[in-house]
Amino acid sequence: MLDIFEILGPVMVGPSSSHTAGAVRIGRMARTLLGGEPVRARIGLYGSFAETGQGHGTDKALAAGLLGLKPDDMKIPNSFDLAKQRGLKFSFEEARLRDAHPNTAVLEVERADGKVLTLQAASTGGGRIRVDRLNGVEVSFTGNFNTLVIRHKDIAGELADVTRELSNGRVNIANMSLCRDRRGGDALTVIETDQKVPRVVRQLIGELRGVEGLTYYEKEGD
């Protein structure tokens, strides 16, 4: 069922829930998953984002999101100036993709310490978004839940270990997916949860045998 506040809401800076509010959320998602202030961003626009993005402020909205602004922040129209002040260098280009949602952005973002993250996300309407690709691996999550993205070895029992830690921490799983590139290779598990995942639980999961990386996105509060 649909969240009624996704229907009546969000409170947002215009003009388009998909091209403006959704774009801010995509930028914020990239920032959160990067885990810090981005200093460089290469932004690819696809489909309707590329066609009508400028008239809708999609470019300003994505930059605003990368700077951590929310969709209702009146600073969105001035985000380019803000980026200059904060030392974020960014560029836009047209993205060439196949079979992507018509409102898609591809972001490559980098932190001052050199950590890089790539993300492909779609704005699916009404300000909702969906992450379709993370660091090259196909995923699917919306940011409507607390989300754990776990990179791990494709070995038996890995998922059981992860879910046990969540169970011990009294965290209920809402949705879950696991993808691997090849048998015995690297795998990516995305787990959406009802409760916030406590830091200690994340730490325990991070220390599990086979886990190579963990990224956490906490659902935004009201």
Q: Which residues bind another protein (CB under 8 A)?
A: 1-5, 7-18, 20-21, 48, 51-52, 54-57, 72, 74, 76-77, 102-103, 125-127, 194, 222
Smallest gap from residue 122 Cβ to another protein (A): 11
Tell me whether residue 36 or residue 55 sits nearer to another protein (CB atom): 55
Smallest gap from residue 76 Cβ to another protein (A): 7
Q: How far apart are the C-alpha atoms of 118 and 137, rounded to whole Å?
A: 10
Q: How far apart are the C-alpha atoms of 189 and 123, rounded to whole Å?
A: 22
Smallest gap from residue 60 Cβ to another protein (A): 8
Q: What is the 3-state secondary structure (H, E, C) of 35-70?
A: CCCEEEEEEEEEEHHHHHCCCCCHHHHHHHHHCCCC
- Going by their DSSP bridges, the two strands 186-193 and 146-153 should be labelled as antiparallel
Please list, in sequence order, all residues whose beta carbon lies within 8 angstroms of the beta carbon of residue 119, skipping any fewer than 6 positions away: 26, 29, 30, 33, 106, 107, 109, 131, 133, 134, 135
Smallest gap from residue 193 Cβ to another protein (A): 12
Tell me whether residue 23 or residue 187 sits nearer to another protein (CB atom): 23
Tell me whether residue 13 or residue 150 sits nearer to another protein (CB atom): 13
Q: How far apart are the C-alpha atoms of 6 and 128, rounded to whole Å?
A: 8
Tell me whether residue 54 or residue 142 sits nearer to another protein (CB atom): 54
Count the Cβ atoms, other than its own, within 10 Å of residue 74: 8
Tell me whether residue 48 or residue 215 sits nearer to another protein (CB atom): 48
Tell me whether residue 4 or residue 160 sits nearer to another protein (CB atom): 4
Count the Cβ atoms, other than its own, within 10 Å of residue 209: 10
Count the Cβ atoms, other than its own, within 10 Å of residue 202: 18
Smallest gap from residue 126 Cβ to another protein (A): 6
Smallest gap from residue 24 Cβ to another protein (A): 12
